[in-house]
Amino acid sequence: MGYEYLQDLSYHAKGWKYEYVTGTFSELMAMHEAGQIDLMTNISYTPERAEKLLNSTNPSGKERYYIYVKSDRDDLTAGDPQSFQGKTIGVNPGVQQIESGKKWLADEGIDVNFKEYATGNDIFKALTDDEVDAIIMNDTLSSGDALPVYYVGESDYYFTVPKSRPDIMAEVNSAMAQIQASNPRYNDEVKTRYSVSNGGSSSLTKAERAWLDARGNTVTFGYLENTRRTPRPARRATSRARSRR
């Protein structure tokens, strides 16, 4: 998602070319705040970050934060927040969803144990392997085992640059304005392409699996007479590569 937005920025910002740096979020943010990384994507605003970073004038999107559990955890999917008392929750350090999650838990009067993992993949694996009871994550990542049970907050996210590079931010803002002028729904469309499968969970709860088992794993559908359509033959798709300046 961030990569595609960067490519579209480069089209408007004098044909920028990028050198990508890999690392955990905490590592990259430390480099970014030290001026070793010029530009980062999908960064939520905080007063602490604003002391060292400039945010784009317009957000590049919005993310929502959830507590996820495995679908077979009937004790945690019954709609009672107090069921999380004393449980272990996996988190990524230094990210905004943790602050939102902690506030939500505090407002509900829930005490939990937090266990940190370096990456999003690590945190979902920990949930799958039952190393934690739940995780706090945004809605742009997911897995087949993760069931979102509580919404705990949301925030806009932005492009950021070190305060020493207002020249880069000027070009970012100009490019974003051109993109938004040509397609006001651009942010939503880009996010949808990469996170539409994470809007919910494809996992069945224990109760849903039991319901299916009792019916021989068969679901019967009814339809009005003379309205059933025969599927059309599949068409062969063709594509044409699009060039960029």
Q: Could you read off the pLDDT of 151-160 as tens digits, one per residue?
A: 999 999 999 9
Contact 55, 172 (CB under 8 A): no
Beta strands in the chain (DSSP E): 40-44, 53-55, 61-70, 88-91, 113-116, 134-138, 146-162
Please give the Cα distance from 108 to 208 (Å, whole number): 28
Q: Using alpha carbons, select from 28, 1, 29, 4 the residue that is nearest to residue 18.
A: 4
What pLDDT score does 241 carry?
Answer: 34
Give the phi and the psi of residue 99 in degrees, each rounded to 5.
Answer: -65, -40
pTM, two decimal places: 0.71
What pLDDT score does 78 carry?
Answer: 81
pLDDT at 201 over 60: no
Contact 149, 69 (CB under 8 A): yes
Please give the Cα distance from 218 to 226 (Å, whole number): 24
Q: Using alpha carbons, select from 230, 238, 208, 211 the residue that is nearest to residue 71.
A: 208
CA distances to 140, 165, 170, 182, 230 from 196, rounded to whole Å, are: 8, 34, 31, 23, 28
pLDDT at 245 over 70: no
Residue pLDDT, tens place only, 8-46: 999 998 879 999 999 988 899 999 999 999 999 999 999
Model confidence band, residue 147 (pLDDT cutoffs 50, 70, 90): confident
Residues 6+ apart with CB under 8 A from 32: 40, 53, 160, 162
Averaged pLDDT score across all residues of the chain:
86
Structure tokens at 190: 């880009």
Residue pLDDT, tens place only, 159-169: 999 999 999 99
- Angle at the Cα of 197 (from 110 to 218), degrees rounded to 5? 95
pLDDT at 177 over 60: yes
Distance separating the N- and C-terminal Cα atoms of the chain:
21
Domain architecture of the chain: domains with CATH: 2-62+155-198 (3.40.190.10), 63-154 (3.40.190.10)
